[in-house]
Every structure is written in structure tokens, then in C-alpha cells.
Amino acid sequence: MNLPLTGPALLPLGIVFGFAFGWLLQRARLTDTEVIIGQLQLRDCTLFKVMLTAILVGGIGVFVLHSGGLAAYHIKPANLLAVALGAILFGIGMAIYGYCPGTALAACGTGSLHALVGVFGMLAGAAAFAFSFDWIKAEVLPVGALGALRLPDLAGIPDLEWLAALFAVGFGALIISDRRKRL
Amino acid sequence: MSTSVEPRIDAPVGLGCNASKASPYLMGAGIGVLSWVVFAIADDPLGITTALSAVAGFAAIPFVGADAVWHNSYWAQNVPSLSYGSLFLVGLILGACSAALASRQFHFEMVPATWRRRFGPSAVRRFIAAFGGGAIEMYGARLAGGCASGHGISGTLQLALSSWIFTILMFATAILVGSYLFNGNGSRK
């Protein structure tokens, strides 16, 4: 079997991998908008705990796979203006909606009807983007376009040191925040 | 400060379906391992909005006509089709649904409790906000090239500069706006 798989052989795995992701999101309670809003109010750090662990475990494994030639990186370009504007719009939208796109779709499966209404909003937002794409491509994407940079390219600090620093800072902050809540 | 009773933050307990939730660290590690698998087997990192945009192409056909979709420059590069990505979204919904049914947490929800305390019980108001919030969020995700999965997990774990900028700025904004929306004193109910 040659990896990665392509074409029709890959299609059924879309369902399988999606199923696993949806299952994990629901078991972590991230399909509950109260947990997402709780994170934004900094009273329930479930979302940060899940994301930080996923980044660290995923980061180490994908780094090893990539070093062994078994996985390719997919680095999104650092178009600074587009990424910054997009992040701000996304943050505003997420606070109002109470879900990010992945947890929203998963929440539809758990019976959240307002999540479903928001999915139609997301489809409308995607269409609005598609119809403004020519303008965005000409006027926004080129501003501050630094290319597909990685953090290790920037500072000359190797991958595993970045991940170790992230581990120390991230879990340090989570443990302190949990301890303060228990007092 | 809000005078309402905050939901208790439970310590993580157990893995099984009878627990109200699994450990967030364990579930996060599971998502990390799933990342290894999708990188190695599918060569397609976990992400939602690229595939959802392609689906939006299909959804737009009744409104703007097939020609407008097939000749659109964005959908020309992100072609609406039955793909790995769109099937991933189907699997995502099915997986969450199965987990909710297995743990007896499936329930229909129109207006979540925190929203109700702040903005009242109107489902119409909540639906308008969800639609608008979803639209703004999706436009931002496409502008930035990813969402909380594509940038926030898959991109950050590859130590991509764009993804770290996106994730930090996105959470900073969401925390500011979320606190403004839900922490205020003027609760109506």
C-alpha cells in the first residue's frame, strides 16, 4: 500500500476520520456551546486543554513523520493583512455564534438547532467570500505576504525546542489557572 | 459580576460513555494522534472551512445559478465535488451524533442557557445571531485561510507562522467580544 492514499480509495476514509474527530469533540464536550462560551469568559479551560494537547501530541508525531519522509507539511501562507483581518472577524463571529466551524457541525449532530441555523450562515459567508475573491486576491492577500513561513525559519530555534517551550508555558498556565479556581 | 449560578466545572472523569465527559487532555491527545493518521494517510490536515466552502458552491447554485458558481474564480480553485473533505464533514456530524446518542446527551437545543440569561428566551433572536455570527466567522476563516481546526490545530502543530498569528489574534478577539457580550451586568433574565 502506497501512502498517502489518493482518489477513490481515500473517499471512505473521509467518513472514518471525520467520525473520529466528531466523536472526540463530543466526548470532550466541545459540541456544547456553554463550554465554548465558558472558555471565552475564561471560566472553563476545556477548549484550551484540548487544543494544547492536540497541538503538542500532533506536533511531535507530525515532526517525526516529516523527518522520516512519511508526511508533508501544509503551511498556509503568512499573508499578514488577510490573516489578521480574518482572525478578528473569526473571533467576533465565534463569540456571537458560540461555536467554531468544526464544533458547529459536530453540534448539529448532537441536536443543536441554533448551530444548524449558523451553518447556513457559514454557507452564506463562504459564498460572500467566493464572490469577493477577485478583489480580496488583488487588494488584501498581497499586503504583508511573507510566504509559507514556519516559526523555526524565523528565529533559528529548532522544532522540538518550540514544542518544549509551548509545553512548559501552556501547561504551566493551565495548571496555575486550575489551582486558582479550586481555592 | 453576573449573579447567575455558573455551571460547575467538573474535574475530568473517565473515558466511557457513562461519564458526562472524558478528560480534555485525553481527547486532545486523541485529536493529536488523529492528526498523525490524516497527515500520513490522507496528506490532508484536519480542517473544516475549505471543504465547507466547496459545499457552499453547491448551496449557492439555486440562488445565483450554476454558471455563476462554475465560473467563479474561488470555486474554480476549490471545486465543489464529492471529495474526501466533504465526506469528512459528513463523518464529523455522524461521529458527534453517535457519541451524543451513546452517552445519552443528544438533545434539541434552540437557545443555550448563557445566551438566554443575557438576551432572553427568543429563538428568533438567537437564530439571527447564529446566522450572522456564522457568516462573519466563515468569511474571516476564508480570508485567513483556515479555522480553529485548520489553523488552530493543524497549522499550529506544524509551527506555521500564519497559524500562530491567527490563533492568538482570534482568541484575543473572541475573549474580548465574548466577555463583553456575556459578562455584563444588564442581564435581562
Interface A-B, measured as beta-carbon pairs within 8 A, has a size of: 519
Closest residue in A to B95 (Cα–Cα): A19
Show residues of chain A in contact with B27, CB under 8 Å.
24-25, 27-28, 50, 53
Locate B21 and state its grid cell. Answer: 465527559
Going by C-alpha positions, the residue among A175, A173, A177 that lies closest to residue A165 is A173
Q: Does A177 touch chain B (CB under 8 A)?
A: no
Q: Do A37 and B182 touch (CB under 8 A)?
A: yes
* DSSP H/E element including A68: none
Q: Do B133 and A58 touch (CB under 8 A)?
A: no
Distances (CA, A) of B50 to A40, A180, B149, B162, B184: 25, 39, 11, 16, 35
Q: What is the pLDDT of residue B184?
A: 66
Contact B92 A128 (CB under 8 A): no
- Shortest Cα distance, chain A CAs vs residue B38, angstroms: 8
Separation of CA B172 from chain center:
17
The reply to whether residue B158 touches residue A59, judged by beta carbons under 8 angstroms, is yes
The neighbouring-strand residues paired with A150 are B160
How many Å apart are CA A43 and CA B9, to the nearest integer? 8
Residue pointed to by grid coordinates 480534555: B24
pLDDT for position A97: 98
Contact by Cβ (8 Å): B87, A19: no
Q: Searching chain A, which residue's CA lies closest to the CA of residue B57?
A: A127
Residue position matching grid coordinates 479551560 = A45
Q: Do B141 and A90 touch (CB under 8 A)?
A: yes
Q: What is the pLDDT at residue B2?
A: 41
For residue A182, what is the nearest residue in chain B, using CA coordinates?
B9
Residue B66 contacts A where some CB pair is shorter than 8 Å? no
User: Considering only CB atoms, which chain A residues are within 8 Å of B125?
Assistant: none
Q: If DSSP codes are grouped into helix, strand and coil, which group holds residue B1?
A: coil
Q: Which residues pair with A112 in a beta bridge?
A: B109
Mean pLDDT on B138-166: 97
Using the beta-carbon criterion (under 8 Å), do A43 and B175 form an inter-chain contact?
A: no
At B24-77, the pLDDT tens digits run: 999 999 999 999 999 999 999 999 999 999 999 999 999 999 999 999 999 999
Cell 501547561 locates to A171
Å between B10 CA and nearest CA of chain A: 9
CB contact under 8 A, A15 and B37: no
The closest alpha carbon to B148, from A38, A27, A98, A142, belongs to A98
Q: Where are the alpha helices (DSSP H) in chain B?
A: 24-37, 49-64, 66-70, 73-77, 84-102, 113-119, 123-144, 156-157, 161-182
pLDDT at B150 over 70: yes
Residues 83-142 of B with CB under 8 A from A: 83-100, 103, 105-115, 123, 126-127, 129-142
Nearest by CB to A125, from B34, B36, B137: name it. B137
* Average pLDDT, consecutive stretches of 10 residues, N- to C-terminus, chain A (183 residues): 86 97 97 97 95 97 97 97 98 98 98 98 98 97 97 92 95 90 71
Query: Taking CA atoms, what residue in B is nearest to A130?
Result: B74
- Chain A residue with CA closest to B40: the answer is A71
Q: Between vectors from CA B2 to CA A182 and to CA B4, what angle results, nearest 5°?
A: 80
Which residue, A56, A44, A40, is CA-closest to B180? A40
Contacts of B10 in chain A (CB under 8 A): none
ipTM value = 0.96
The amino acid occupying position B124 is: V
| pLDDT 10s digits, B78-137 | 999 999 999 999 999 999 999 999 999 999 999 999 999 999 999 999 999 999 999 999
Nine cell digits for residue B76: 474554480
Q: What is the largest CA-CA distance in chain A?
A: 55
Determine, for residues A94 and B174 on separate chains, whether the beta-carbon distance falls below 8 Å.
yes
Residues of B in contact with A22 (CB under 8 A): 91-99
Q: What is the pLDDT, as a whole number, of residue B137?
A: 98
Question: A166-171 — which CB contacts under 8 Å span 24+ positions?
Answer: A166/A52, A166/A55, A166/A56, A166/A59, A167/A56, A170/A48, A170/A52, A170/A56, A171/A52
